[in-house]
Amino acid sequence: MPYQMKKILYTTDLSPAAPRVFQYAIFLANQFDAHVTSMHVLEELSPDAKFAIALHFSDGDAEEMMRKKQKEAKEEMFQRVETLCQSTTLSSGEYIDPDRLTIRVERGFPEEKILSVSKEIGADIIVMGAHEKGFTHTFLGSVAKRVLRRSKIPVVIVPLTDE
């Protein structure tokens, strides 16, 4: 039986090079008529950062700031999809039907969220980028390496460049 790919988890750090990785996810989705969940993770604050915020803001204000950050990230993701789909350089393989796309912004530790959401949605594959330095050095501690080591499903890592 040929491999079936029905659910793709695409993760983004919202860097300028990230849309290139999204094009790979769209290409795969169109080849397999798969659904793409596009996800950005707002990294959990360190205890020191939480303490500093607690000194200057109430719990409600801090929570409101995080909700605002989540909303802004989600709006940025929608804008990127729209820009890509309206691009004049777009090939037919780079468009995705909005019914086959879900956009999520999560809070937590990136590798943990990527792995838990992939399991939650029943993803068949994870598509993510890794900055070039991650491949030319050992990229010890990078999110991509930790996801690759722990994932039970295939992971496609697209090298990101700042070009």
Confidence (pLDDT) at 136: 45
CA dihedral 136, 139, 145, 146 (to 10 degrees): 180
Domain count, the chain: 1
pTM: 0.81
Average pLDDT over residues 13-32: 89
**Is 136 a domain residue?**
yes
Phi-psi region of 14 (alpha: psi -120 to 50; beta: other; left: phi over 0): left
Please name the residue that has the structure tokens 């596009």: 38
Which amino acid type is present at position 44?
E
CA–CA distance, 126 with 114 (Å, rounded to integer): 8
* Full domain range(s) for residue 104: 7-160
CA–CA distance, 144 with 80 (Å, rounded to integer): 22
DSSP bridge pairs for 65: none
**Is 2 a domain residue?**
no
Confidence (pLDDT) at 150: 95
97-110 confidence digits (pLDDT tens): 778 899 999 989 99
